[in-house]
Amino acid sequence: MSDKLIIFDTTLRDGEQSPGASMTRDEKVRIARQLERLKVDVIEAGFAASSNGDFDAVQLVANTVKESTVCSLARANDRDISRAAEALKGANSARIHTFIATSALHMEKKLRMTPDQVFEQAKQSVRFARNLVADIEFSPEDGYRSDPDFLCRVLEAVIHEGATTINVPDTVGYGVPELYGNFIKSLRERIPNSDKAIWSVHCHNDLGMAVANSLAGVKIGGARQVECTINGLGERAGNCSLEEVVMAVKTRRDYFGLELGIDTRHILAASRMVSQTTGFVVQPNKAVVGANAFAHASGIHQDGVLKARDTYEIMRAEDVGWSANKLVLGKLSGRNAFKQRLNELGVQLDSEAEINAAFARFKELADRKSEIFDEDILALVSDESVSQDKEHFAFVSLAQHSETGERPHARVVFTSGGHEIQSESDGNGPVDASLKAIEAHVQSGAEMVLYSVNAISGSTESQGEVTVRLQNSGRVVNGTGSDPDIVVASAKAYLSALNKLQSKADRVAAQG
């Protein structure tokens, strides 16, 4: 059995299924590039048949990423599989991931199919896919709650048809480590041709055990692929977190004895990029990537770490991309220094025009904020609410007045489809007044389901990073914005969410 553990990242597919985490095509490509830098083995870029937007995103990722295998999800039917193959045409290395539910509950209530029909469809789909692409992954959805005898029958058949990876999802996060690990082990032992495929685990985090279950699937079950997402992003309580599973296998190499291809130094940048893009804030005590993950507050711990680092630290912060929160650039820094820092942070901007625009924003920020940290630079390049040429709505300026005892008032200037708009409103506070001013003109009718502010680098001198989540006609989107002035950051975040609602509406319209 191989001693390499394959890391399959599904941030752009399963992660994106989390309500409010939808990403634009360009955001997906930016994250895919970061995943490639991280040396992820397989990137699941989306579900090509689900919409024209998803098709385009998978296609663009396939055409851009060269080092990692690019994968598209497809239901077990010819149309989905053909769309996936079509979107993946430009990939250096392509994989189709096809799935069908196999639990009694899903077959009867969701698919309204008999087990025999599901068996035939699974077989037929893998055969069809195998004629289009050599690398085929098959997943029995809700596999962990499926009847083991039936599952063995299906999995043996799809391996026979040419499936090269067999993924066993714990779709609803019901597993516990020992049982899930043994489940994988027994499938591998019972299925006569199980050695012809690589076994994979895919665990959801409903009971907080996704990472533990995945690791048990590897250690007890002998799986050699883990499906995971950056920051554990994903539907409901999320998926297995990439950073945790990777650092567990690396740090406890003595126990797992497995090799990884991952360049862990890019983990933190990937975590920040995903968090800033989706607006899903990382909790401070989150393992590996949380702000406190390597902070020692208690005197005893600080003393110990100063004397000998390994008294309280089992990993080195710099191995996952943490550097001291040092002042990296200032007002006098030139374009080259800025560009070099972007490179060091793993940020790749497409053209000189994009670098120039980001540099102009950096200079503007440096005029208002004396110290510029890495976090500021990352926020600055992910802040798309100011890139007027690409987005429908873009922030221009804001003036607001608030005084104790008076009702706050705001005037916001922004562009809508290239036309400058000026709109005013009052509100309960300056943020409320500013967002009402925008809404007074746009009239999106969207309901705000979340508003949160986070200080990017800790102090009141920091930039505020605002997340706004809007819901409209069943669609949920997140917008983020950053600025030293949190009222401005809020207006940017609101405009960014409106842009996403707009682009989702365009995508739906394009599908007809």
The distance of closest approach from Cβ of residue 479 to ligand KIV in the complex, given in angstroms and rounded to an integer, is 26
Which among ligand KIV, Zn ion, none contacts residue 139 (Cβ within 5 to 8 A by kind)? Answer: ligand KIV
Which among ligand KIV, Zn ion, none contacts residue 141 (Cβ within 5 to 8 A by kind)? Answer: ligand KIV
Classified as helix, coil or strand, 398 is strand
Q: How far apart are the first and last CA of the chain?
A: 48
Residue of the chain from 139, 278, 462, 482 that contacts ligand KIV (CB under 6 A): 139
Handedness of CA 13, 19, 25, 30 (dihedral sign): negative
Q: Is the Cβ of residue 144 or residue 373 nearer to Zn ion in the bound state?
A: 144
Classified as helix, coil or strand, 184 is helix
Which among ligand KIV, Zn ion, none contacts residue 383 (Cβ within 5 to 8 A by kind)? Answer: none
- Edge to edge, the sheet with strand 464-472 lists 447-455, 464-472, 475-483
Contact 185, 221 (CB under 8 A): yes
Q: Is the Cβ of residue 237 or residue 317 nearer to Zn ion in the bound state?
A: 237
Q: Identify any residues that bridge with 398 across adjacent strands, giving them in sequence order.
A: 412
Q: Is the Cβ of residue 40 or residue 345 nearer to ligand KIV in the bound state?
A: 40
Pairwise CA distance, residues 199 & 190, whole Å: 14
* 142 binding Zn ion? (CB under 5 A): no
The distance of closest approach from Cβ of residue 1 to ligand KIV in the complex, given in angstroms and rounded to an integer, is 23
Q: Is the Cβ of residue 201 or residue 435 nearer to ligand KIV in the bound state?
A: 201
Give the list of residues 6+ apart from residue 381 with CB closer than 8 angstroms, or none: 342, 347, 349, 358
The distance of closest approach from Cβ of residue 140 to Zn ion in the complex, given in angstroms and rounded to an integer, is 12
Classified as helix, coil or strand, 271 is helix
Q: Is the Cβ of residue 99 or residue 395 nearer to ligand KIV in the bound state?
A: 99
Q: Is the Cβ of residue 169 or residue 321 nearer to ligand KIV in the bound state?
A: 169
Structure-token pair, residue 399: 């003036």
Structure-token pair, residue 166: 């067999």
* 14 binding ligand KIV? (CB under 6 A): yes
Site residues for ligand KIV, 194-253, by CB under 6 A, read 202, 204
* 171 binding ligand KIV? (CB under 6 A): yes
Pairwise CA distance, residues 203 & 308, whole Å: 37
Pairwise CA distance, residues 76 & 144, whole Å: 19
Helix (H), strand (E) at residue 355: helix 352-368
Residue of the chain from 9, 36, 41, 141 that contacts ligand KIV (CB under 6 A): 141
Classified as helix, coil or strand, 8 is strand
The distance of closest approach from Cβ of residue 71 to Zn ion in the complex, given in angstroms and rounded to an integer, is 13
Q: Is the Cβ of residue 274 or residue 381 nearer to ligand KIV in the bound state?
A: 274
**Helices H / strands E in the chain, number of each:** 17, 15
The distance of closest approach from Cβ of residue 73 to ligand KIV in the complex, given in angstroms and rounded to an integer, is 6
The distance of closest approach from Cβ of residue 17 to Zn ion in the complex, given in angstroms and rounded to an integer, is 8
Q: Is the Cβ of residue 8 or residue 128 nearer to Zn ion in the bound state?
A: 8
Q: Is the Cβ of residue 18 or residue 482 nearer to ligand KIV in the bound state?
A: 18
Which among Zn ion, ligand KIV, none contacts residue 213 (Cβ within 5 to 8 A by kind)? Answer: none
Site residues for Zn ion, 352-371, by CB under 5 A, read none
> CB 169: neighbour CB atoms within 10 A?
26
Residue of the chain from 15, 46, 169, 346 that contacts ligand KIV (CB under 6 A): 169
The distance of closest approach from Cβ of residue 171 to ligand KIV in the complex, given in angstroms and rounded to an integer, is 3
The distance of closest approach from Cβ of residue 73 to Zn ion in the complex, given in angstroms and rounded to an integer, is 9
- Position of minimal CB gap to Zn ion: 14
Amino acid identity of residue 2, one-letter, is S
Torsion of CA 95, 100, 101, 102, to 10 degrees: -100
Stretch 1-20: interaction string toward Zn ion, x if CB under 5 A: -------------x------
3-state secondary structure 401-470: ECCCCCCCEEEEEEEECCEEEEEEEECCCHHHHHHHHHHHHHCCCCEEEEEEEEECCCCCCCCEEEEEEE
* 30 binding ligand KIV? (CB under 6 A): no
Contact 383, 281 (CB under 8 A): no
Q: Is the Cβ of residue 73 or residue 438 nearer to ligand KIV in the bound state?
A: 73
* 99 binding ligand KIV? (CB under 6 A): yes
| Longest CA span, the chain | 77
Which among ligand KIV, Zn ion, none contacts residue 16 (Cβ within 5 to 8 A by kind)? Answer: none
Q: Is the Cβ of residue 10 or residue 467 nearer to ligand KIV in the bound state?
A: 10
The distance of closest approach from Cβ of residue 491 to ligand KIV in the complex, given in angstroms and rounded to an integer, is 36
Pairwise CA distance, residues 121 & 117, whole Å: 6
Please tell me the count of residues contacting ligand KIV according to CB under 6 A. Answer: 8
Rg (CA), the chain: 24
Q: Measuring CA to CA, how many Å separate 103 from each of 114, 172, 181, 315?
A: 11, 12, 18, 40
Q: Is the Cβ of residue 217 or residue 321 nearer to ligand KIV in the bound state?
A: 217
* 95 binding ligand KIV? (CB under 6 A): no
* 492 binding ligand KIV? (CB under 6 A): no
Q: Measuring CA to CA, how many Å separate 406 from each of 48, 399, 402, 435, 485?
A: 53, 16, 7, 18, 20
Classified as helix, coil or strand, 91 is coil
The distance of closest approach from Cβ of residue 202 to ligand KIV in the complex, given in angstroms and rounded to an integer, is 5
The distance of closest approach from Cβ of residue 57 to ligand KIV in the complex, given in angstroms and rounded to an integer, is 17
The distance of closest approach from Cβ of residue 137 to ligand KIV in the complex, given in angstroms and rounded to an integer, is 9
Which residues would be at the binding site for ligand KIV (CB under 6 A)? 14, 99, 139, 141, 169, 171, 202, 204
Which residues would be at the binding site for Zn ion (CB under 5 A)? 14
